[in-house]
Amino acid sequence: MLNQTEIRQYVAPPNQLHGRVIAITGAGDGIGRALALAAARQGAQLVLIGRTVRRLESIHAEIAALGSAGGQAPEATIAPLDLEKALAGDYDQLAAAVLQRYGRLDGLVHNAALLGTIAPIEHADMLNWCRVLHVNLTAALALTQVLLPSLRASEDASVIFTTSSVGRRGRANWGAYAVSKFAVEGLNQVLADELSGNSLVRVNAVNPGATRTRMRRQAFPGEDAALLPEPASILGPYLWLLGPASRGVTGQSLDCQAPRPSPPPAAPA
Ligand code: NDP
């Protein structure tokens, strides 16, 4: 296995994801969008899962345009799913569509998340707490469950959860978001352990680190975003985990960026 630095700096060989079917949640914006585009460039067929259809249509069009550069157009399908509101039937429908269209799933990236309200635990709003825990944790579990038959049908399936530094060491005011990411780390470890030895499905988590996106702006409105890396520049660990070079790696929690000094605490709402 590569060391942490090599994984962070990983540059995928051309076409390394050729023929792989990869589903990404929150594919319409931020890191999910950049990852969808990078994976399509490497030959993956994408299932673009997200809440805002116009954003999914935009990334779908951008992926389709890759083909006009002369190569074969990468294939992508849009799967609208609001992880806050989706019911069991919506998950089942998506899983059935994936199985029917592709017969398997080689990658599942749980990227979508809700920041929620930044506030001390003492003042935690219960509705916000439930929404954040549901989208960031429970929905990822529900989606994994229904897609497991497709993942098991792959010869090398890779599930990626998205964690955060506040999901490894608690920080004041990050409330439900931080707790949800701690739980995602736990889900990652438990599922990886359960699936190792009896399946070809590997399960890992990735912490993107401070990245120039809408969520980061929401958390740190006063920060100079120009100092942060763009989503497209932090994707090494995701692309390594989705490709054949990481076959057999499971139960890890990786970082996209070298550790930085802790930022100032987010302002309580
Ligand atoms: P963005 O806010 O840019 O993107 C989040 C994506 O999640 C959007 O596409 C959004 O959809 C989607 N989403 C939110 N709620 C739902 C929902 N209910 N149903 C379906 N999709 C939903 O965030 P980032 O790209 O920054 O974050 C990506 C991941 O990285 C998250 O898991 C985040 O916690 C993590 N992370 C980010 C860091 C950063 O500095 N950016 C640092 C550490 C971790 P829509 O377009 O509809 O809003």
Which atom in ligand 1 lies closest to the alpha carbon of residue 166?
43
Ligand 1 pocket check for 167: Cβ under 6 Å: no
For residue 6, count CB atoms less than 10 angstroms from its CB and return exposed for 0-12, middle for 13-18, buried for 19 or more.
exposed
Q: Can you spell out the DSSP letters for 147-197?
A: HHHHHHTSSSEEEEEE--GGGTS--TT-HHHHHHHHHHHHHHHHHHHHHTT
How far apart are the C-alpha atoms of 16 and 146, rounded to whole Å? 27
Let me know if 177 is a catalytic residue.
Answer: yes
- Smallest CA-to-CA distance from 220 within 176, 184, 262 is with 262
Superfamily assignment of 7-255 in CATH?
A: NAD(P)-binding Rossmann-like Domain (3.40.50.720)
Ligand 1 pocket check for 205: Cβ under 6 Å: no
H-helix or E-strand containing 126?
helix 126-133
Q: Give per-residue pLDDT as tens, 108-165.
A: 999 999 999 999 999 999 999 999 999 999 999 999 999 999 999 999 999 999 999 9
pLDDT number for residue 79: 98
- Smallest CA-to-CA distance from 29 within 102, 111, 132 is with 111
pLDDT number for residue 175: 96
When comparing pLDDT for 232 and 66, which is higher? 232
How far apart are the C-alpha atoms of 201 and 197, rounded to whole Å? 9
User: Integer distance in angstroms from the first to the last C-alpha of the chain?
Assistant: 43
List residues bridging with 78 in a β-sheet: 48
Which atom in ligand 1 lies closest to the alpha carbon of residue 55?
46
pLDDT number for residue 68: 66
Q: What percent of the chain has pLDDT over 90?
A: 91
pLDDT number for residue 262: 64
pLDDT tier, 269 (very low <50, low <70, confident <90, very high otherwise): very low
Which atom in ligand 1 lies closest to the alpha carbon of residue 28?
9
Indicate the top mutation candidate among 215, 223, 233 to test ligand 1's pocket, ranked by most ligand atoms within 8 A of CB.
215
How far apart are the C-alpha atoms of 263 and 11, rounded to whole Å? 28
Q: Give per-residue pLDDT as tens, 39-65.
A: 999 999 999 999 999 999 999 999 999
Ligand 1 pocket check for 50: Cβ under 6 Å: yes
Catalytic residue of the set 10, 91, 177, 238: 177
Helix axes 126-133, 175-195, angle to 10 degrees: 30
Answer yes or no: is pLDDT of 251 > 80.
yes
Mean pLDDT of 68-78: 76
Domain coordinates in residue numbering, the chain: 7-255
Q: How far is the centre of ligand 1, averaged over its atoms, from the C-alpha of 111 (Å)? A: 6
Which atom in ligand 1 lies closest to the alpha carbon of residue 218?
2
List residues bridging with 113 in a β-sheet: none
Q: Give per-residue pLDDT as tens, 74-117.
A: 889 999 999 999 999 999 999 999 999 999 999 999 999 999 99
In this structure, of 5-9, 55-59, 71-75, the range with the lowest mean pLDDT score is: 71-75
Q: How far is the centre of ligand 1, averaged over its atoms, from the C-alpha of 248 (Å)? A: 28
Query: Cα-atom radius of gyration of the chain, to the nearest Å?
Result: 18
Strand residues in the chain grouped as ranges (E): 21-25, 45-50, 76-80, 107-110, 157-162, 201-207, 253-255
pLDDT number for residue 1: 82
